[in-house]
């Protein structure tokens, strides 16, 4: 197929609203279909071929030639594409990425201010099996109240922090200035955020409609109890309690 006229990447750590944003952008018909094209089928990146990659271009590109992808930073994909395209070792990571996803000049960085709430949301999804709930769907009838795990939540706080550190290092190394989307702001101004992304992508969107949010929030009383329990346990015996 023809190469995309414009590619963009949504870089995210878990539970920052990337799926909600991806669905919203896809609904416009002018911003590609930014899904996790490298996540679902390729546990071993080395199994991907050039033909596979070009198929992903096709699946992720809207009729105006805009391609979107979302991913949490993984160095293994940079290494895979360097090998796939036989690029020299001195080729920068940004150049490698733009070779795999042509004309990738736009980058979006999704983050969440409160990493404890992020980690609790992540752990809740793991133990419940409910990662997303389509708007209007009935909540799962799963009792997870006894599934609190301090060590697991602490690990996820650290993992999300390290994931963001890797992405930020990539941006700095590459002199990139991504559009930063903060989860807490996004959910307060859903449509405004999506239109800001379209403007950032320089995609004509005056008459574009944006579908309503595709998902309901999953946060509930159990999640809030876990947040407060983790906050208290983490600062036990501290003289200067921060939160």
Query: pLDDT-based confidence at 112, cuts 50/70/90?
Result: very high
Among the listed residues 23, 36, 168, 206, the single catalytic one is 36
Q: HSE of 52 in the Cβ direction (CA atoms, 13 Å)? A: 14
Region 62-67: mean pLDDT is: 96
Q: Is residue 240 part of a domain?
A: no
Q: Is residue 48 part of a domain?
A: yes
Q: Is residue 242 part of a domain?
A: no
Region 104-120: mean pLDDT is: 97
Assign 2 to helix, strand or coil.
coil
Q: What percent of the chain has pLDDT over 70?
A: 98
Helix 190-200 vs helix 18-28: angle between axes, to the nearest 10 degrees? 70
pLDDT mean across residues, the chain: 94
Q: HSE of 205 in the Cβ direction (CA atoms, 13 Å)? A: 21
DSSP conformation letters of 46-69:
GG--HHHHHHHHHHHB-TTSEEEE
Q: Is residue 243 part of a domain?
A: no
Query: pLDDT-based confidence at 219, cuts 50/70/90?
Result: confident
| DSSP 8-state symbol, 134 | B
**In the chain, how many H helices and how many E strands?**
9, 4
Residues paired with 87 in a beta bridge: none
Q: Is residue 239 part of a domain?
A: no
The per-residue pLDDT for 190 is: 97
| 218 Cβ neighbours under 8 A, 6+ residues apart | 121, 124, 125, 130, 132, 133
Nearest C-alpha neighbor of 214 from the set 140, 137, 138 = 137
Is residue 130 among the annotated active site residues? no
Q: What is the pLDDT of residues 12-61, one digit of tens each?
A: 999 999 999 999 999 999 999 999 999 866 568 888 999 999 999 999 99
pTM score, whole prediction: 0.94
> Structurally, how many domains does the chain consist of?
1
Helix, strand, coil percent content, the chain, rounded in steps of 5: 45, 10, 40
CB atoms within 10 A of CB 239: 5
Output the domain CATH number for residue 52: 3.40.50.300
Q: What is the pLDDT of residues 172-202, one digit of tens each?
A: 999 999 999 999 999 999 999 999 999 999 9
Give the Cα separation of 210 and 198 in Å (integer): 11
Print the domain residue range for 19. Answer: 6-234
Beta strands in 49-127 (DSSP E): 66-71, 104-111
Give the Cα separation of 166 and 76 in Å (integer): 13
Give the Cα separation of 69 and 206 in Å (integer): 23
The per-residue pLDDT for 40 is: 60
- Does residue 132 register a pLDDT over 80? yes
């Amino acid at each position: 197929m023809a190469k995309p006229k414009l590619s963009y990447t949504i870089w995210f750590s878990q539970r920052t609203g990337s799926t909600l944003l991806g669905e919203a952008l896809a609904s416009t018909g002018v911003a590609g279909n930014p899904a996790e094209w490298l996540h679902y089928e390729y546990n071993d990146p080395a199994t991907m071929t050039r033909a596979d990659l070009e198929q992903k271009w096709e699946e992720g590109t809207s009729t105006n030639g805009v391609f979107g992808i979302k991913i949490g930073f993984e160095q293994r994909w940079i290494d895979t594409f360097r090998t796939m395209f036989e690029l020299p070792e001195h080729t920068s990571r940004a150049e490698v990425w733009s070779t795999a996803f042509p004309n990738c000049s736009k980058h979006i960085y999704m983050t969440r201010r409160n990493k404890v709430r992020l980690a609790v949301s992540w752990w809740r999804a793991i133990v419940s099996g409910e990662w997303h709930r389509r708007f209007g769907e009935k909540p799962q009838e799963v009792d997870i109240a006894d599934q609190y795990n301090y060590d697991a939540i602490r690990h996820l706080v650290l993992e999300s922090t390290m994931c963001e550190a890797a992405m930020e290092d990539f941006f700095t190394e590459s002199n990139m200035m991504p559009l930063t989307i903060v989860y807490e702001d996004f959910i307060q101004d859903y449509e405004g955020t999506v239109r800001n992304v379209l403007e950032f992508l320089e995609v004509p969107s005056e008459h574009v409609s944006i579908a309503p949010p595709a998902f309901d929030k999953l946060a509930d009383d159990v999640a809030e109890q876990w947040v407060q329990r983790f906050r208290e346990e983490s600062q036990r015996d501290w003289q200067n309690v921060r939160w």
